[in-house]
Chain A
Amino acid sequence: MAYTPQYGPGTSTVAENRRKQMNPNNKLEKVRDVTDEDVVLILGHRAPGAAYPTAHPPLAEAGEPDCPIRKIVTPTEGAKAGDRVRYIQFADSMFNAPSQPYQRTYSYSYRFRGIDPGTLSGRQIVECRERDLEAYSKFLLETEMFDPARCSVRGATVHGHSLRLAEDGMMFDMLQRCLLTGDGNVKYVKNQIGEPLDREVNVGKPMDEGWLKAHSTIFHSLVGVPYRDDQEYVEYVQRIHSLRTKYGFMPKE
């Protein structure tokens, strides 16, 4: 019997949104346009138009060893070219940012190849080959997984995910890498590690509260869906915990 992923339990909209983001067969809505050059500027790893720095020669020239694993795994474009490994890191507000750290990791794992995600409370990083990264980053910035006010691309100094929102609805950022400007758009004035950009990068208008709540992947009893209300979700976690406990106590059972 073929295994069919279920992408997690739960009857709430939060649970359903989580499944939608994880399920690679579900096409996520494209909400905004961010150009390739703008993605490169925000990432700050290379100058737009510059060649990709390499960590090794292209695989086609490298003379790979006779390795059964290499025959099974098709290299990504970045790996083929020998790109170095770089990163994008997001901070996501607990006030209904459309994606959240573990949710990102789970979703990336289902949707992307050749990645190394890391999950913390205030940030989530993913590392991969540079040209793959740029493609993934474009997807992450343009789709419903991103909101310009509640999500932020931050390589360092990520403090903000749990803080109250600023008066204009933006998540706190000590470096103020992006600003809500007079035309209603959020524009990056610094790259993800806080180096000033030569020009602003427009990532569009913040989504409204109704949209954010409808697309949220975090339970929140004040601004969203209370965790307590999704009984199936809670009972699922209890079940996992109970099974693990019993196995550790008496593995024969």
Chain B
Amino acid sequence: MKGILYLEDGSVFTGKGFGARATRVGELVFNTSMTGYQKILTDPSYKGQILNMTYPLIGNYGVNETDYESEGIHAFGLVAKDIASSPSNNRSVMNIDEWLTLQNVPGVWNVDTRMITKKIRDEGTVKSVISTEDIGLAEAKRLCGESALRQDWMKEAGAKKRFRIEGEGPRVAVLDFGVKTSILRGLSSRGLDLHVFPYGSSAEELLSVSPDGIFLSNGPGDPAEATEGVETARALLGRAPVFGICMGHQILALAVGGRTYKMKYGHRGGNHGVFDADAERSAITSQNHGFAVDGESLTGRGMIVTHVNLNDGTVEGMRHENLPVFSVQYHPEASPGPNDSAYLFDRFVAMMKGGKAQCRKTTR
């Protein structure tokens, strides 16, 4: 099976196809994680994106029944240098080719993924067509031209209906923009009583469960498109302690009147160092975002930047001056990636129990 990847700028990468016989148009991004492809592909934040893995050998440990961050693959396509047809791991139930077929997702391999990565690095993320259906160049070009990239995936990536994960501890209302299972697990494993609300839920709806804290989840798309979410978040500020991750962090910034912007090619991987000004030290983080919070836009809005990316100085976390509100751009739930920041979940719990004062204290 032939596979092609067509980029909006006209460049074409022809390799072999795997997974489903399908054609998709999406935003081409790269991820630098060396492990965790199953968790990455099932992370709802990748909705609408075609994923180019920089690590060349994908599928080595197969696909298992536990490494799901949601019910299935959200990414629109997968690009790899090489895929393993005979994986090896005690939990593996199938290989990546079989899995993508089952999930109806096309894949392309045996293309120069490093060249693609560098292209994205130099030119920014780009609209692309991935196909395993032997479509011609003209067809790819036409499809690419005709399709517009959606930026409002957060509206449908998460739960459609309210649900609850019971716990003995403090009650948390989760606003779901496309939440990862690991985040819910990270909260729930600390005994929290979770009430998950679908996108579009109002502040009143969330407050109706008398939450001890609010959690704003990760999710795909441009946070500026999530007007209802921002509105809800704004109305919640000051009503209960708030913790946001990734899109939740961006929503929070918008809610206080800050700005977000689209990064050239974002951060996707598990290896960036982030400096925590409160702890005065750094952690290696799991990252997946294409938008970021403009640090300057927070000036005078009551938010203090607490976490900074060591590579490019972008905002990685913030907390409110007076309110028990904090958020991070990266992923303390890891999955995949380093677990170094799991302490942030504890901080949230402590904040709900002890109020604002606890918020500044660092426990790791």
The answer to whether A and B interact is no
